[in-house]
Structures are given as C-alpha cells and as structure tokens.
Amino acid sequence: MKARAFSYRRAYTVDEALDAHASNGDDARFIAGGQSLVPALALRLQAPRILIDINHIEELRGVTREGEWLRIGALTRHCEMLTEPLIAEFAPLLRAAAPFVAHPAIRNRGTLGGSVALADPASEFPAMMLALDAEIEIAGASGRRRVRADEFFIDLFETAAAPGELVTAIFVPRFRCNQRICFDELARRRGDYALVGCGMQATCKDGLIEGIRIAFFSVGNVPTRARSAEAAVSGGRIDAERIAAAQAALDSDLAPPESDEVPPAMRLHLARVLLGRLLGRLGEVA
Amino acid sequence: MTPLTSLDRPNSYIGRSVPRPNAKRLLAGRGRYVTDIRLPRMLHAAFLRSPYAHARIARVDVDAARALAGVHLVATGADLAKICTPWTGTLDHFKGMTSEPQLPLPLDRVVWAGQAVLAVVAESRAIAEDALELISVDYEELPAIVDLDAAREPGTPRVNPAGSSNICFRAQLDSGGVDEAFASAAHIIEEEFSFGRHTPVTLEPRAIVADYDPDGGMLTVHHATQTPYQFQDLYSRHYRIPEARVRVIAPDIGGSFGLKLHVYHEDMAVVGLSILLGRPVKFVADRLESFVSDIHARDHHVRARMAIDADGRILAMDVHDATAIGAFSTYPRTSVVEGNQVIRLIGAPYDFKSYRAALEVVFQNKVQTSQYRAVGHPIACAVTERMVDLAAARIGLDPFAIRAKNVIPDDAYPTASPTGYRFESLSHQVCLQRLREIMDYDALRAEQSELRQRGIHRGIGIATFVEITNPSPAFYGVGGARISSQDGATISLTPSGEVRCAISVTEQGQGTEAIISQIVADQLGLAQEHVKVITGDTEVTPHGGATWACRGAGIGGETALQAARKLKANILEIAALVLQEQPAALNIIDGEVVNAATRQPRLAIAEIARIAYFRSDTLPPGTQAQLTVSHHFAPQGYPFAFTNGIQGCYVEVDADTGFIKLLKHFVVEDCGRIINPMLVDEQVRGGVVQGLGAALFEECRYGETGQLLNGSLADYLVPMAMEMPDIVIAHVETPTADTALGAKGCGEAGTAAASACVLNAVNDALAPFCASINAVPITPARVLEALGRF
C-alpha cells in the first residue's frame, strides 16, 4: 500500500513544531524516527494532513548530566542507548534493554522520545521508564512540564501528553553504585515483540533489597509496574521463598487480555517464570 | 597430495562447486525484477478486497472513484467476464472432483476475506488506492465455513450454494490385507495429527505487468512466474489471443517455491485491464495482499493407525487425511495434489505390504491452498515418522534400530510402495548409517541423558523420507492439463566460438542457469564463462515445463546435455572436414579441437565458427554447417525419479516457557548425480529452514468469522537466521539410469522431513514428562499445554 498524500514541514524549534501542529487543526503528526508512524501511513491506518519533521530541532538532541538527573533528548536514537557512555554509566537499564528493541536498522532510526510518546505496551523502553522512575518532559501550548512515568501512561496508546504536545526529553534519576538492574524478555524470535518482558532496578544494602521497581511490558494495555511483587521482595534478601511470593503476587499485578495466540493464563505463567529468573539473577548480584 | 579425480579433467563441471554466474549481478542490486519494470504509458492497478469471508455483493457504487483525477478505469467482475472465459480447477485423473468456475473478479458473491472484488487502474498506485477509498459496496453476509471439521459435517451451510456438499474430492487406497494385519498385530499405534495452514512468503511478492498492443493484437506479460509457457497458454486461451501472439517474460524472480505457478485472480484481471485500456498495467501484491491472496498450504487433519509385530516390524498402516483447500480448487494444477501425495507418500520408506488410506478434500471460506515446496511430503513424513517413533517407544526400540529394521533394504530395488509408487533405486540403509555417523548419535544420547539429570531437556529426532522428482506426464498431462513434462533447448555456437543455450527451465534464485551452463560447458569442452544461458522468455526459448516439482536439474539438465552432445557432433563434423580427419578421432577441450588420442590441439572452435559462418565457400561442396541445434527431452522409464534421505536434529526445550531452541540439524540426502555440490547443499539448507519454519513458527491463524488474524510479517513468523541451527549435510549418490546425466531433484528434500524431525525431537525431549505433541507448528502454547503448565 501507498500512503495518502500529505504535506511536510520541517521544524527547527520546539515552538515552531507546536505552532505548525496547532495551525493544522491538530490534523498533524510529529515525525522523528518514523519507525512506527511510517508503516502506519503506508498502511493508511493514519492519514494526517501534514507531517511535522522534528529531526532538526537541536534542543531535542543529546545526552547530558543535570545534577542528580540524566537528561536524554527525545531524538536520542535507540542505537545510542548501546553506544553513549553516559547511558551506560547513569542509566544502564536502558542499555540492557536496547539490544532487545527490534533490529539494528530500526534502532538506527527509532528514537527514545518517539517510543515513549507512542507508549506501545509491547515496547521495551516505555516500561523501562517505570522501572527507572523516570520523568517525561512535555512541551505544550502552556509551556514545559515534567510528568512522572507512573502518571504518564494512561491507556492503550494514550499518555499524559495531549495531542499536539511534544515529548522533548526523558529525565532519569542517575544510577548509583548500590543499585542493580536486570532485564529480559521472552520473544519467539530475536527482535520480535515479546510475549512478555520485564526490567527491574533495585536499591540494595548489605545484600538486602531496600527498594525495587519492577516493570512489565506486553502484559496489557499499558506498561505495567508489578507493585505487589515489588512489595514481596522489598526489605529482605532475595531467596526462594520471596521469589515464590513475588511470583504469586503477580496475579494481582497483571491482568493480561485475551489474545488469539497467547491465552491470559499462559501470559501470566510466562510472566511468573520470567520474574523468577530475573529475581534469581538479581539475588546473585544484590 | 590427493589423487586426481575425474573432476581434474579440463572443463569438468559436473560435480564441481562453481559460483552462480548471476550471483554477483543480483548482489550488486542489478537484478531486474518485474517491480523494476517501467514501460511507457504504464498504469497501476489496485484491488478492493472483501472484508467478509462469505457475502453476497448487493450493490456497488464506483461513481466517485471513476471521477477521481488520475483514474483511468474502475472494472467490475462483469466488465472482465465479457472478455475472459472462466476457468475450473479440476483435472480428469482425479475422478469425481468438483470445483466452481472462476472469473478474474466475482460477479455477485465473495468467498473469502481478502478476495479481490473490484479493480482500479490509475496513473499511480497511490491514486488507485485513493480511489478504492471512494468505492462503496453493500455486502449481505452469508454463513462463513471456516473450520475444517465443521465444513465436513452434514447440514453445514455450503461454501458454494450450487454444489451438493462441501466435498471437493475423495480418494481411497487399499492394498488389501489391512484388517487381517491389524487383527494379528502385537501392537497397534493410533494417533491424530493436525498441521497448521501456512503460506510460502517469497522475498519478491507476486508481480505482473501486462502490455496489450491492440494494433498488433499482441499481448506481452512480464510476470514473476516460474512457468512462463503455462501462462502463455492460459492467457491465450482465456483471452482468445492466438498463442503465437502472447509472449510471457519471466525476468529475475525472487523466490517462488510453487507460489508463482498458480493462476491468481488479480493476475488474470491485470491482463484483462490492459486489454480494456490498450495500455501497460502493473500490479505488485504488497505484503498484506500476499497474505490474503497468495496460495496457502498444508491444512490437514490426519488420523493414523499402525500395526507392528512383537519385534517392531511394521505390518500395516491405515490413515485418513482431511484437508481444507479454500473456496475453489486452484487452476490449473488443482488443490488436491497435496492430499493425494500425502496419502501416497505415507509409509513410503518402509517395507510393508498392507496399506489403506482415505482422503477427503473439503471447501471452506478461506483463500485457496495449493502446491508449495515439497507438496504433501512434510505431512506424510511427519505422520509416518512420528508413528514409527511411537511404535519404537511402545516396544522399547531405539529410533535408529526400528528404522534399520523396517526401511526398504538397499538391495531390494527395483520395488514399489504399497501405494503403487515405483522405486528405481533408493539408499535408505546407507543413509541411515551415514546419519548416525555425522550426528555422532551415541555421544548425543550420552549428553542428553547427562543433561537431563541437571534439568536440561534436550531431544533427538530423526526422520526418513522419499521425495518425488523428475515428474513425467503422469503428474499433470494425463489429467488433461496443458502443463508440459518435457523441456527444450536451443544451443548455438556463436561466430566467435562461444555458446548460447536458450532453455525452457527457469531461474528463481536456485541456480538453474548455473547448472545448465556447467552441463553445457562440460559436455562441449568449454570454459563455463563461454556459455551463456538464456531462460524465461517464451519468445526466445523452446516450449517446456520450466521449473517445479524438482525437475530443473533432472529434466532440464538432461535436455541441455543431449543438446550439447548434438552440437558437439556437428562442430566435430565440420572440424573433421577442415582437418581431413574422422570426427571420431577428434575431441574438444577448452574450446580447442584436439586429437582425441593425444589431446594435441588442432584448431580452435572459434576458427570452425569463423569458417562455417563467413567462409563456407572453403568447405567441401554440399556441406551445410549446423551450428544451432534444438533438442527436446521428455522423461521416460519411471514415472517419477524418487529420491531419498534422512534428517536428524537436536533441540532443547525450556519446560517452563515452552520455548524450543534448535541446536543442530543434520541431513543425508541422495539426489543422484550432483551437478553443483554447493548449490545442492544450499537448496537442502533453504529447504530445511522452510521446514523448520513450519515446525515451530508458521501458521495462518483465522478468527471464527474467517478473518486472517496474523496476515503481516510482524505477526506471521517466518524462520530467521538468529533462530536457525547449523545444518550439517552429507550425500549419497545413486544416479538414475533413466538419463545419461543421472540427476534427480533436490529442492524439496530439506522441507520434506525437517518438521517431522523436529516433532520427533521435541517429543523425545518431553518424554520424561509423559507429554506428547502431534501438531505443528509446535508453539510455546502447545508445549506448555502438553506439560499442563497453565
């Protein structure tokens, strides 16, 4: 299929991009890496009047330290998660997740801001925002604001960023030496959307888990924190008993939807298996 | 130093791994596929597709689409029915078979979701798609028959209301003695199997540019097909254009696997659209269209019983195969060949006498199924080999031991299967032995048992197979299909002393042109680079069957061999006159006529060509040099050249996730004379990978209303490099005596047994859990279900 005809506008500043969107009655789409949008256009699932190209907005680029935060510009490509030293040092969970994101050609174009803004519940990075307790910076008509990841993902493809607003940067609390991460997913083929995936970041002290954030993807309409499982392993050493308790707790954390290929009970089972394996690994390094 | 072999003779190309002459060109992006073709005044077609699996077309409004700027034609089924005669996908030798007549576009009823309903032709594909959005069609939904078993139940609504039932075809085979054998058996094994519908997924999708010139009454079709002559015949007859005025050109083709030899409604429509407009019209199926309009395959439910004696000797088999083929039988090769081959190939490697089989082919509201690489073989092989493993387990025999006990012995040929297939000479015993060696079977078993102690569940599977190759007219010709089983070649010595060979077999990426040039160079005594092979144009090459059912090397290769020998004799005849020698005293080596005994060079063949073409006055009076010869070859003797082989694989099953890791795969294959070992190995590997796709990943999943649920490459999983194991290949060579070349086919061997092999290996891994799986693809869901994990 071929996309329906559309106009194209290249924006050089955030304000220019926002104005262009508003002046087209919001019948517009921002385009960055285009790895989800371009197929949707080609399939005519989306047919906006205009595409606003944000790839040339300088302030959306770059990874910098800002005090206790790591600021990752929205245009940072997935492949940069693998190569940028600041990410390896201060947001290693993103680095751990990046090899699982699609294939190299897609990682070369796809952007972190685009992935988070789309909020595909089967994608790795939106869920990692939850595990990292990241904040998403949004630019809109009323200026800039930062929204905690916990409040950002609202429903299927629906986020705290309203139509016409632009995700400009991700702020990640900088990784500390007493923190540990773990990431894995169960995908039929390398690079596919996972049947279930999970990333976690724990704060440890003397082998005990002081706090932990566990985030799942491919388990429902939104990336999902497993809060009961988090509670089950917090405050103690990770042992078989706590792992079993966390696995059991997933019943109340996750409610996978019906799907023709993976029944909800199977997805929940896989989530428990994956959680058990990840906690086991975490226990070895805590 | 290794001793010299026959391959060290000059120009000895048969048996030599040489690169394909066209490989560099394709790698460099200089391929010319149908998609690349842009003709002057060319227009683009797009099709409106049915959202319903079964519905009456009540009303169609195309006015707005016709009015859109850039749209040249909106055509309905009725418009095309005026110029195209209908076709029916039946063959005479399938007695009692029925199927409805088909037209390019339906007149009043759609029978599967995704069926093309209307065509738009416009200046660009994008404009044509804009116009599709402006068309409105009112449908009245009819009951959709989706499930294979439901389609067979009495009282189920009919897929074709004009028919008397949903049965397309029934067949029975009975060698006699089956009931007696079961009555006297020590053990009876019974099992039911189900096989997921899947689809070939070629890298290059279907593509066609039809170019009708009304003034000359000439139709030229650039067509991504493996069978240009078949389509020349069909376009000629259904559009009533004399055959000589229809030219079909198959340029570079990006994979075919049987997909590109069936009549597709869109392709037939595009020819009609070009006739209606008098302009070239292009259609390239996009990937979403491919999933709902390319042929599917392998949708089977099989019930099987096997009787064995106390020692594990197979006494009898009794099987029932039900297969669903969509709403029509495909034209012109039908949709029943697959089922027919399933029931005839089951049990084929084994030496037993009593066999009974029933086949039921049913209609349903889905896209048509038809021949796809290794037609019927994977089903027959999986059923047979799983039954053999179950029998082995029942009496405590090792999988190698039970096969050694039951395969037809290598010294028993010629012989026939209980289903009537005649075998010239197969090599099951030696293949079995060779597989055991290359697998290092005993070491694998030891490792498996050691790892089991540590909770790692690995499985070993093996699967024996026979493959049908080099088909004679017994395949299609006897059924009335105008599908040739012979091939033709025209071979010339050019004035510069090079050789051109125009041959009817075709190239889809497997290396047909490479092996033809090897055979011609070998037989004539030339360097391979001095042989140019031309394929894929009905205006240029003689009529022939082209490439399907593993016939390119065996039939096309023999055609080239005989043609080259004829040309060589003609060259030597002229050389003998020039040199005043007897032709028998001369030979050709490296493009030089030499003394046959001493190999002393006498005269370059370029010099013969120069004399013959430009100085015929210097030849003796009455000499007419024949430096272009044509030769046709049709297989005679055995109706098919059967090949055989055996595969093995080693897998690891994660009992908690149901995920299966393919660790290693092994193949021992006997395709007779090997022309190019590298190409044979890659054919086998590619075939194995397609079989592994079927084993673990590929399945067209449908919803209750007949919607394809996973019709995209994101959802329909094809095998990818990361998940594929190393594939170790060994060969046994048993040439056929039916030809001078001795080659049989090898293209389907890999696919034939790979899924059976994985099925056995996974079940072997699951043995400690007493879990059993008898369905492919073996998905994590099926494994976890078998293990009772959720």
* DSSP-derived secondary structure for B619-648: SPTT-----EEEEEE---SSSSEEEEEEEE
Helices (H), A11-111: 14-23, 37-42, 80-83, 85-90, 92-97, 104-109
B656, B717, B779 member nearest A273 (Cβ)? B656
A263 and B720 within 8 Å at the Cβ level: the answer is no
Enumerate residues 6+ apart whose C-beta is below 8 A from B465: B349, B377, B381, B644, B645, B646, B647, B749, B752, B753, B756
CATH number, domain at A137? Answer: 3.30.465.10
| In the predicted structure, residue B608 carries a pLDDT above the cut 70 | yes
Do A98 and A11 lie in one domain? The reply is: no
Residues in A 21-80 with any Cβ partner in B closer than 8 A:
43-44
> Could you tell me the CATH number of the domain that includes residue A45?
3.30.43.10
Q: Which two tokens stand for residue B755?
A: 């899924």
Same domain, A247 and A193: yes
The reply to whether B123 touches chain A by the CB within 8 Å rule is no
Q: Specify if A1 maps to a domain.
A: no
Summarised one tens digit per residue, pLDDT across range B679-698 is 999 999 999 999 999 999 99
- Cα-based distances in Å from A123 to B15, B136, B716: 50, 37, 18
Q: Do A101 and A187 lie in a common domain?
A: no
> In chain A, what residues touch B130 (CB-CB under 8 Å)?
4-5
In the predicted model, is pLDDT for residue B1 greater than 70? no
Place of tokens 């199926």: B285
User: Is A147 strand, coil or helix?
Assistant: strand
Which chain B residue lies closest to A266 (C-alpha atoms)?
B790
| B590 closest CA partner among B13, B22, B6 | B13
Q: Does B126 contact chain A (CB < 8 Å)?
A: yes
- Mean pLDDT throughout B341-365? 98
Clarify whether residues A198 and A256 are in a common domain.
Answer: yes
Q: Which of B657, B708, B784 to mutate to test binding with chain A, by most A CBs within 10 Å of its CB?
A: B657
Task: With respect to residue A2, please indicate whether it lies within any of the assigned structural domains.
Answer: no
User: Is A193 part of the contact surface with chain B (CB cutoff 8 Å)?
Assistant: yes
Q: How far apart are CA B135 and CA B679, in angstroms?
A: 49
Q: Total domain count for chain A?
A: 3
* CB contacts, 8 Å: A44 with chain B: 129, 133
Interchain proximity B789–A263, CB inside 8 Å:
no
On whether any CB of chain A is under 8 Å from the CB of B710, the answer is: yes
Confidence of residue B10 (pLDDT cuts 50, 70, 90): confident
Same domain, yes or no, for A137 and A213? Answer: no
Say if A271 falls within a structural domain. yes
Q: Cβ neighbours of residue B160 under 8 Å, at least 6 residues apart?
A: B100, B111, B327, B363
Closest CA to B590 of B577, B575, B574, B603: B603
Phi, psi of B471 (to 5 degrees): -70, 140
pLDDT, tens digit, 9 for 90 and up, residues A252-286: 999 999 988 899 999 999 999 999 999 999 999 88
Residues of A in contact with B709 (CB under 8 A): 260
Interface A–B counts its CB contacts (< 8 A) at: 61
> What residues in A contact B659, CB-CB < 8 Å?
186, 188
Chain A nearest C-alpha distance from B714 (Å): 7
Contacts of B633 (CB under 8 A, 6+ apart): B486, B487, B488, B555, B558, B559, B562
Token pair listed for A95: 């680095």
Taking only the tens place, the pLDDT of each residue in B655-683 is 999 999 999 999 999 999 999 999 999 99
8 A C-beta contact, residue B219 and residue B239: yes
CA distance B458 to B766: 8
B87 backbone dihedrals φ, ψ, rounded to 5°: -130, 155
User: Which residue from A260, A268, A269 is facing B703, i.e. has the nearest CB?
Assistant: A260
Per-residue pLDDT of B369-409, as tens digits, reads 999 999 999 999 999 999 999 999 999 999 999 999 999 99
Note the pLDDT of residue B500.
98
Show the domains of chain B with their CATH numbers: 6-31+486-633 (3.30.365.10), 34-142+205-253+259-293 (3.90.1170.50), 300-473+637-786 (3.30.365.10)
Identify the CA nearest to B745 among candidates B650, B664, B644, B647.
Answer: B644
Residue numbers of the domain that contains A21: 7-53
Q: What is the pLDDT of residues B465-510, one digit of tens each?
A: 999 999 998 888 899 999 999 999 999 999 999 999 999 999 999 9
State which H helix or E strand residue B679 sits in.
helix B677-696
Question: Is A272 inside a domain boundary?
Answer: yes
Residue A47's closest chain B neighbor by CA?
Answer: B130
Do B430 and B410 touch, CB atoms closer than 8 A?
yes
On whether both A164 and A66 belong to a single domain, the answer is: yes
Return mean pLDDT, chain B: 96
- Give contacts of A189 with chain B, Cβ < 8 Å: 697, 717, 720, 722-723
What is the CATH number for A187? 3.30.390.50
Q: Same domain for A130 and A85?
A: yes
Residues 6+ apart with CB under 8 A from B706: B52, B53, B54, B112, B113, B144, B145, B146, B365, B366
Domain shared by A145 and A213, yes or no: no
**B190 has a pLDDT exceeding 90:** yes
Contacts of A268 in chain B (CB under 8 A): 790
pLDDT by residue (tens digit) across A176-206?
999 999 999 999 999 999 999 999 999 999 9
Per-residue pLDDT for B759 more than 80? Answer: yes
Q: What is the pLDDT of residue B184?
A: 97
A205 domain residue, yes or no: yes
Query: Which residue, among B271, B307, B266, B305, has the nearest Cα to B286 in the 3D structure?
Result: B266
How far is A1 from chain B, CA to nearest CA, in Å?
Answer: 6
- The answer to whether the CB atoms of B657 and A273 lie below 8 A apart is yes
* pLDDT score of B8: 80
- Distance between CA atoms of residues B441 and B448, nearest Å: 10
What pLDDT score does B163 carry?
A: 85
In a domain, A253, yes or no: yes
How many CB atoms within 10 Å of residue B451? 13
Q: B273 by DSSP, 3-state: which?
A: helix
ipTM: 0.96
| Cβ-based neighbour number of residue B625 at 10 Å | 18
The winner for highest mean pLDDT among A25-34, B108-117, B161-170 is B108-117
CB-based contacts of B195, cutoff 8 Å, min separation 6: B298, B299, B300, B301, B302, B378, B379, B382, B775, B776
Chain B contact for A258, CB < 8 A?
no
Give contacts of B710 with chain A, Cβ < 8 Å.
260-261
In chain B, the percentage of residues whose pLDDT exceeds 70 is 100
At residue B673, what is the residue type? R
Q: What is the residue-wise DSSP string for B341-364?
A: HHHHHTTTTB---EEEEEEEEE--
Residue A2 near chain B (CB below 8 Å): yes
Mean pLDDT, residues B66-77 taken together: 98
Is this model's pTM higher than 0.80 or not? Answer: yes
Q: Of A153, A173, A193, which closes a domain?
A: A173
- A191 contact B CB<8A: yes
Tens-digit pLDDT profile for residues B239-273: 999 999 999 999 999 999 999 999 999 999 999 99
Can you state the percent helix, strand and coil of chain B, rounding each to 5? 30, 25, 45
Q: Does A122 touch chain B (CB under 8 A)?
A: no
B717 and A195 in contact by Cβ < 8 A?
no
Domain end (from A122, A142, A173): A173
**Statement to judge: residues A80 and A115 lie in one domain:** yes
Mean pLDDT of B766-786: 97
A217 in a structural domain: yes
Share the mean pLDDT of chain A: 97
Residue A159 region by backbone torsions, left for phi larger than 0, else alpha for psi between -120 and 50, else beta: beta
Question: CA dist A9 to A30, A59, A141, B62, B337, Å?
Answer: 10, 18, 19, 34, 56
pLDDT tens-digit profile of B82-140? Answer: 999 999 999 999 999 999 999 999 999 999 999 999 999 999 999 999 999 999 999 99
Chain B CB contacts of A262 below 8 Å: 781
The reply to whether A188 and A163 lie within a common domain is no
Give residue-wise pLDDT tens across range A148-181. 999 999 999 999 999 999 999 999 999 999 999 9
